[in-house]
Amino acid sequence: MEKNTMAEFTTKRAPIVVIMGHVDHGKSTLLDYIRKTNIVDGEAGGITQHLSAYVVEHKDADGKNRSITFIDTPGHAAFSGMRSRGANVADIAILVVSAEDGFKAQTKEAYETIKDSGIPYIVAINKIDKPGADIEKTKYNLIENEIYLEGMGGNIPFVPISAKIGTGVPDLLETILLVADLENFECDPESLATGLVIESHQDAKRGAQATLIIRDGSVMRGQYIVAGSAYTSTRMLESFLGKNIEEATCSMPIRLAGFTSAPVVGTTFHTVASKKEAEQMVQKYALENSSTINNIAHVAGTKLVPVIIKTDVSGTGEAIAREIQKMTKEGIAFKIISIGVGNISETDIKLASSDKDALIVGFNVKLDSVARDANEQIGVPVEIFNIIYKLTEWLDVKLEERRPRIETQEVVGALKILKTFSQTKEKQVIGGKVTEGRITSNAVVRIMRRENEIGRGKILELQTNKVKTKEIGADTECGLTVESKIEIAPGDILEAYITVTK
């Protein structure tokens, strides 16, 4: 299914809605009420595992059944990052504010997230059934915080509700559809699906699985989904109810298992037709994003050793990456090309095989059997640890093994030529005095004239007091036979040197 940009394929899609607000202001109660009363055929009771997204149906003013997709995001302040991603994937936000408590710190945080995302929003004034509810006071409280409601000098829609008993909830759903009509959300169902990962974890039986929201296009069985450094086939394509489906399209939440690693929440996913395309996308992603993973400013000419990190949980991977980024030696450093959750897979092996120096480290994971078989032919160094300092110790050894070796020439002695005695085609007998260090028989020397090197030679024989010797120290006169094509003259300096590899 190839992308077709012709307008005739564009169609209206269901709005994707995120509900946000203070943890105690009834967000979860509202979501539960909507789910239990508006999912078609009463199938809500059949959901065996809570997903972070679901679709409800509501009759609009014309009596037509319309779909709305809801995303459930954590409400506690600790999950502000997750809420931010939720607002970015959504089309419309619902800001829930208690009619009892009014605008609180977490309400402000949620509001700022909505405002930063730039999406339209509706205020739901909740808990109107409570004895302490004061709708008018809450409305003025919102205005004090620069949320200007309809009928009060602004254009922000608001709906008084009771999430507990359902008062006003149908009006809220109707308002969502009205906003959606005004915004005119569209998509192209003929294109390959794209969207975002909104939930991801490692399941003991099903492996790495994720919940995705389709923002545009469609996906069907037999294709592949790529999300960052992870991919999976769509053989087990499931709806938000956990039912196997053949196809999913715009605004639908889907669940897929069998990812090569747990994809990062908030990552954009793409649909491709084949496994080969999926692997190519993963490799391209790794190359394009390695610079964002590595924030070390590498000196030009620094050798970079690619590293793939696989861990049992994502937080551990990030911690290990920070430690690895600190590990540098002269002329060499690590370049993290992939961080993933789950066992080391065949994809990881293939990704690493593109560079002979690449390494794979795992923490509290395993090397799966397919990857092990593949690596018998490829031979990528793979090690698994359960103690971080052991992991970094192993990497330090590997970094030293891969460090570029630099050959330097160190002067160990110098001799000044005092007199020349005889010369054949390639041999000269001369006399001189050692001015520094030591001169040894068989030493290789540079012939220096007025501080410029004019050639090289080798000392074949040394004599002092007409007696052969193997070594002469400083401030000692001696005779020597030098093998060289360069004619040596009095005043020249012979510098004996050794080549050192560092």
Whole-number average pLDDT of the chain:
85
Whether residues 347 and 437 share a domain: the answer is no
| pLDDT greater than 60 at residue 99 | yes
Instruction: Over range 217-221, report the average pLDDT.
Output: 95
Q: Is residue 263 part of a domain?
A: yes
| pLDDT greater than 90 at residue 61 | no
Whether residues 294 and 417 share a domain: the answer is no
Range scoring the smallest mean pLDDT among 23-37, 373-387, 424-438: 23-37
Whether residues 131 and 29 share a domain: the answer is yes
Distance CA 297, CA 304 (A): 12
Q: What is the CATH number of the domain that holds 75?
A: 3.40.50.300
Distance CA 177, CA 293 (A): 41
Whether residues 269 and 288 share a domain: the answer is no
| pLDDT greater than 50 at residue 386 | yes
Residue 392 CB neighbour total at 10 angstroms: 18
Distance CA 282, CA 267 (A): 13
Tokens of 467: 């007696």
pLDDT (0 to 100) of residue 228: 86
Q: What is the CATH number of the domain that holds 322?
A: 3.40.50.10050
Whether residues 26 and 133 share a domain: the answer is yes
Owner of token pair 């050692």: 434
Instruction: Over range 449-455, report the average pLDDT.
Output: 92
Whether residues 108 and 27 share a domain: the answer is yes
Instruction: Name residue 419's beta-bridge partners.
Output: 431
Whether residues 162 and 26 share a domain: the answer is yes
Give the range of the structural domain holding residue 163, as residue numbers without chain letter: 11-186
Whether residues 414 and 394 share a domain: the answer is no
| pLDDT greater than 60 at residue 2 | no
Q: What is the CATH number of the domain that holds 495?
A: 2.40.30.10
* Count of residues making up the chain: 502
Cα-flanking dihedrals φ and ψ of residue 325, to 5°?
Answer: -65, -20
Instruction: Name residue 167's beta-bridge partners.
Output: none
User: In the listed set 168, 186, 204, which residue is the last one of a domain according to the structure?
Assistant: 186
Virtual CA dihedral for 130, 132, 133, 138, nearest 10 degrees? -150
Owner of token pair 């992603």: 285
pLDDT (0 to 100) of residue 80: 46
| pLDDT greater than 50 at residue 37 | yes
Whether residues 54 and 172 share a domain: the answer is yes
Q: How many domains, in total, are found in the chain? A: 4
pLDDT (0 to 100) of residue 300: 57
Helix axis angle for 169-183 and 27-38, nearest 10°, is 90
Q: Is residue 278 part of a domain?
A: no
pLDDT (0 to 100) of residue 48: 33
pLDDT (0 to 100) of residue 294: 56
pLDDT digits (tens, 9 = 90+) for 226-281: 998 889 999 989 998 889 999 999 999 999 999 887 787 778 899 999 999 998 89
Rounded to two decimals, the pTM is: 0.61
Distance CA 260, CA 230 (A): 5
Instruction: Over range 478-486, report the average pLDDT.
Output: 93
Owner of token pair 């010369």: 423
Instruction: Over range 133-138, report the average pLDDT.
Output: 93
Whether residues 246 and 113 share a domain: the answer is no
Range scoring the smallest mean pLDDT among 140-144, 193-197, 324-328, 378-382: 324-328
Tokens of 385: 């640890």
Q: Is residue 168 part of a domain?
A: yes
